[in-house]
Amino acid sequence: MNARTRTPFDSCLTAALVLSGEWIPRWLDQLQAALVHREATGATHEKRGFGHARLELVRCRERLEARLVEAFAEAVHADVAREAGAPSATPRKPKAALSLDDLTLMDHGQVQASVELARLQQVVRMAVDDELITLGALLCAARGLPSVRAEANPLRPDVVIDTLMATLTELRIDETVRQRWLHAGAVSLGQTLGRFYAALVRHLEADGVQPAGYVVVPTVLPVRGARAPSTDPFADQAAEAAAGATADESPLVLTLDHLHRLLVGNLAQGGAEVSDHGASGSGNALVRTLAAEVVTQMLRSIAEDRRLLAPVRDLVMQLKPALLHLAKTDPRFFADRDNPARRLLDAITARSLAYIHEQDTGFGEFAGQVLHTVQSLQSPSADLPERVVACMQHMESLGLTDQGPAMQTLVRVEQRHLLAERVAREIRTRDDFQRAPALVKRFLCGPWAQVVAHARLTADILGELATQPDLLAVRELSSERYMDILTDLLWSCQLAQASQDRARLVRVVPVVLRTLREGLDAIDFPRPQAESFFQALMGLHEAAYKSQRSDGLLKAGLRRPEAPVAAPEPWLQGHEARESGFIDTQLMVAEFADTEPVTCQQPLGSGDTLAVGAWIELQYTDHVQRCQLRWASPHRTLFLFATAEGQSVSLTRQGMDRLEAGGQLRVVAEHGVVDEALAAVARLAWANSGKLA
């Protein structure tokens, strides 16, 4: 790095990487000493395990130390690049949250490993808290940030622990040995990191860095008055559930082990045997208490989700008594995606994401439907499960629209697009292709490949329907002549050759132009965009005919660097665009201009990971629209969305990237609101496990 541009932030990172060569070996020494101590003082059944863990550390100590130092440097540099928005940096992918689905599939050992990791993070965080706050403020200031952002610190404990876990996985350290290392080394890792952070604080202060400020967000706590007696038949049940969550006069602290045992049914009714999963409702108090706690925390997360409008959040909270009642007989309903109560919550929260303001068209009617649903579930009679099913079916029907025709259209478009890519590869293998001007190359690998693909598909369809006498006519409609004209087209645009045979040029040009126009008309290609190509092509023909100008133009063309050819995106004909609600984000005017390509911001790549059911927000000139992803083509080149009113919206993958890079597309929700709320419950249980471990 140039010393002239070296900043205090750069200097601090350099010092941090140098110090990592000191604190990592020091921590490994402390870990080894802790294992020796555990082996000597532990219970009889633990001595052998800690002895084995110590021997494994001795065996791979050298490799582990070297790889940790190297991996830490890589992680820090990658984090800095991502935060700075470097084009070559790999975008940060959100770490997959521990979900109820994951927890259900875990065995006891995997749960304990997750608990151990939670404990490690908790212990380290508590040990370095003071130094981390100071270091974060100084690093943010050194980066020129006006206020502190935790993720702007590339040396934060999360980066260290993620690096440690990734290295242990890479070196294939046994799971049991890994857990013993983490358990024995958690305290010393926190202490070592604390000293490491303190040294960096002194380094930044010596460089004269003043800490950035923290943004203080005031929290207003609601004042709860005394609760008046209620005549609501569900009120007593809600109070009973809340009271049940206070075993031994202390509130229940939901842990990962509790949640896992609840989900897999490993909770005994006062004995060692497995419970009946609460299906009998006969009295597993702990099952009901845990289920009530999960429902409460799930609804609390939904109530705090600002993507949902306030009236919807209030109405969802009014479902709590009914959900608590259902949890008494089916404590795991929230973990079953096919459970009617879970599907009802999914239907309400998913559709509510379509609305940005309470004044949006259709919101009043939707809110009325939700209110009717809440009111119909306000009695604890035995038929409550049946009423939930009826409400679920009604709410799900509100969002149903027939997108079959649009989907079939896009399937046909992708089929043609994939065939066009093969045609383009076929064209590029021609010997005369490489000598062609850049604008002709782009045309042949783009629109003309689509023309040939369309002709081949049409010929295949007609061939299947045709009788034997019709085969000759089908052959005439085939793509052969669209490929046959390439020889004359590529020859006519090469000035040095075409200018030597004017008679041939005069003879072939009308046929070439007529065939090109016919092909473009066949795929409904816009005439104005086609004309820009034809004007450029006829300019080449004119230059070839006027031989005295051809040599100069040829030399000028050879001197110009050839612009890179971007990957073509699917082409939709006019009726296909109308049928699928296609949004054309491409500036077609410049498509065939012989100019340098426009440099775009690095795409964010939602097309890679966006799953069916996700919601996006599109920013138009005069309004904002939300729509839900209903279908993605098999090769993820095309995406079909639907608005709350059932209107189809389709985009190419490149179009999504283009809108996202320009700030005109925002992902509102990658997963369902209920999924995210339950993931928050799992994270809470995970954090509680770390505190209690």
DSSP states of 499-567: TT-HHHHHHHHHHHHHHHHHHHHHTT--HHHHHHHHHHHHHHHHHHHSHHHHHHHHHHHHHSPPPPPPP
- Residue 558: pLDDT band (50, 70, 90) is very low
- Non-local CB neighbours of 131 within 8 Å, separated by 6+ positions: 194, 197, 198, 201
Cβ neighbours for 578, distance < 8 A, ≥ 6 positions apart: none
pTM to 2 decimal places: 0.68
**Bridge partner list, 669:** 615
Helices and strands, number each (H, E), in the chain? 28, 5
Exposure of 438 in the CB half-sphere (CA atoms within 13 A): 17
Amino acid at 186: A
Tokens read off for 669 = 């929700």
pLDDT at 98: 64
- How many residues in the chain? 693
The Cα–Cα gap between 625 and 648 comes to 12
Give me the pLDDT at residue 88, please: 42
Give residue 128's pLDDT band: very low, low, confident or very high (50, 70, 90): confident
Map tokens 């031989």 to a residue. Answer: 547
pLDDT band at 6 (very low <50, low <70, confident <90, very high): confident
pLDDT at 185 over 80: yes
Query: Average pLDDT for residues 513-521, to the nearest whole number?
Result: 91
Rounded distance between C-alpha atoms, residue 464 and residue 245, angstroms = 69
Which pLDDT belongs to residue 143?
86
Query: For residues 20 and 71, what is the distance between their CA atoms, to the nearest angstrom?
Result: 11
- Cα–Cα distance for residue pair 504/342, rounded to 1 Å: 74
- Dist CA 154 CA 690 (whole Å): 23
Average pLDDT for residues 118-132, to the nearest whole number?
84
Instruction: Look at 358 and 222; give whichever has higher pLDDT.
Output: 358
Residues linked to residue 588 through DSSP beta bridges, in sequence order: none
pLDDT of 44 reads: 75
Is residue 204 helix, strand or coil?
helix
d(CA 133, CA 127): 12
270 CB burial (10 A radius; 0-12, 13-18, 19+): exposed
Strand-pairing partners, residue 649, are: 641
Q: Which of 256-265, 348-357, 375-384, 617-626 has the highest mean pLDDT?
A: 348-357
